[in-house]
Amino acid sequence: MAYKILVAEDDIGLNQGIRLALQREEFIFDMAYTLKETREKWRKENPDMVILDVNFPDGNGFDFLCMLRQSSDIPVIVVTANDMETDEVTGLTLGADDYITKPFSLMALRIRVENIWKRTRNNKIQIYEEAGYMFDFGHLDFKVNGQEISLSAPEQKLLKLFITHPGQTLPRDILVENIWTCSMEYVDENALSVTISRLRKKLEIKGKSSPVSTVYGIGYAWKHQGD
């Protein structure tokens, strides 16, 4: 299956250079030269990875990264001319998988991209189906017993964390850090309890216990229906 990479870089020459340097049989590319175009192509084309510049004529790439991380965990490599530690920390804090500063070697970028591709291609969960549940994270389609349900961005992120760590107890503080990564203010821990409660209600199947189990004093865990 082809692996789609969105190259979001306003410098036309560098954008094309990145595409040429990364070319391989498994990769296909979408190109974006403005922040507006980046948002549009992300929504329409559903890429598997984004190579993201920070400085666009019409906005800041970190704003796009923050928006993307509200509903998606696809790999993002941030590219910037700002050789400052604060920018690197900001990018990684907002959920970037890697960070590279201009000027950079296209071969070094190729190695980073291929490492992430190899690491994620076999364990990326886009569709989950089990015991009355069907969750398609690629198309944001969520169904319980065949009935479509609507999930908020925090609920989607919480659900993805659970099903990618089945049976594992996830501490409350870890869940808060991963769900509200873009919040610059203190997040009341009660927000997690409310989100858990709403998600449980939406996942209810009559006659079955909730797959979201409370581990008292620690956090929560996703339990398979057969467990």
pLDDT of residue 191 exceeding 90: no
Better-scored residue on pLDDT, 83 or 109: 109
Q: Count CB neighbours of 2 within 10 A.
A: 9
DSSP characters for 97-125?
SEEEESS--HHHHHHHHHHHHHHHTTT--
Contacts of 92 (CB under 8 A, 6+ apart): 99
**pLDDT 10s digits, 30-73:** 999 999 999 999 988 888 899 999 989 999 999 999 888 877 77
Helix (H, G, I), strand (E, B) or coil at 175: helix
Q: Hey, what are 227's tokens?
A: 């467990």
Give the pTM: 0.60
**pLDDT 10s digits, 132-176:** 999 988 778 899 999 999 998 889 889 988 888 888 888 988 888
User: CA-CA distance, 54 to 37, in Å (whole number)?
Assistant: 14
pLDDT band at 3 (very low <50, low <70, confident <90, very high): confident
Quick one: the chain helix, strand, coil %, rounded to 5?
40, 25, 40
